């Protein structure tokens, strides 16, 4: 297991694809992982970020569009509510845009393998969006 930190550009297709990929990876039970972009780059572009321990299989599968064929076949049985919402095109777009070891950018999914998530967001060039408290 290695800690992987992912930054997804604020792009509807990429977000949709990554939400669905997370279910195929077995990390989520719904297409709800990325709901609000809470991180930003130096130009103010917004990103969705997650960080957690991934297996080598999950790491390898992030960019392999054939990696989750079995899981896709099992979606109708295992996730009957989600199955009608599956969008293979979006998943493929997210995997194609998935790039390791590069700063976050508005046209891609960037990911870093690093033990410390705080270091990872620095590598990705991101800072949290400041919240104004009432």
Partner 1 sequence: MSKINLSRAARIKTQAGELRALKIAEHGKWAISPWNDLSRLLLPGATKLAFYWADPRFWFQDVAGTIPVTAPGQPIRRWVSVAPGTPALVQPTNADFAPVSRRWPKTGRFNLLNALTEIPTVGGSWGVTGGTMVNGLLTENTANSAHNTFSLGSNNAWSPNLPIGTRVHLSMWVKAVGDTTTAQIAFGATNFGTGSFANFDLVTGDVAATGCNASMVPEDGGWRLLADAVTTATASAGAAFALCLTNNNFAAGRVPAYAGSGRQLEWGKVQISLSEHPYQRVASVNDITEAGVTDVWSAFFDGVGDWLQSEVAVDLTASGQLSLFAGAKKLSDAAQGTLAELSINAPSASYTGSFILRAPQTAGGNDFMIYNRGATGSQNSQAIGLPAPLPAVISGLSDLSDVARIRANGTLRTTTAAVFGGGNYRSDILYVGRRAGSTLPFNGMLQSLIIRGGDLPDNATVIETETIINDVWGAY
Which residues form the interface with partner 1 (CB under 8 A)?
Answer: 1-6, 22, 26-30, 32-33, 36, 38, 49-53, 113-118, 120-121, 128-129, 131, 133-134
- Cβ 13 to partner 1 shortest distance, Å: 19
- Pick 34 or 75: Cβ nearer partner 1: 34
| Of 42 and 115, CB closest to partner 1 | 115
User: In the bound complex, what is the minimum distance in angstroms from residue 128's beta carbon to partner 1?
Assistant: 6
Number of C-alpha atoms within 13 angstroms, CB side, residue 21? 30
- What's the min distance (Å) between Cβ of 118 and partner 1? 6
Which C-beta is closer to partner 1: that of 74 or that of 128?
128
Q: Is the dihedral of CA 55, 58, 61, 66 positive or negative?
A: positive
The Cα–Cα gap between 63 and 76 comes to 23
From the CB of 35, what's the least distance to partner 1, in Å?
8
Nearer to partner 1, 55 or 69 (CB): 55
């Amino acid at each position: 297991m290695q800690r992987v930190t992912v930054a997804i550009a604020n792009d509807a297709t990429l977000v949709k694809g990554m939400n669905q990929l997370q279910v195929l990876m077995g990390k989520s039970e719904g297409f709800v992982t990325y709901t609000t972009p809470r991180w930003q780059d130096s130009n103010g572009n917004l990103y969705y970020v997650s960080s957690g321990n991934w297996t080598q299989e999950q790491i390898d599968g992030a960019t392999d569009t054939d990696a989750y064929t079995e899981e896709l076949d099992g979606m109708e049985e295992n996730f009957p509510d989600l199955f009608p919402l599956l969008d293979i095109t979006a998943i493929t777009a997210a995997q194609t845009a998935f790039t390791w070891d590069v700063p976050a950018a508005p046209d891609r999914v960037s990911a870093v393998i690093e033990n410390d998530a705080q270091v990872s967001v620095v590598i990705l060039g991101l800072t949290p969006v400041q919240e104004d408290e009432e």
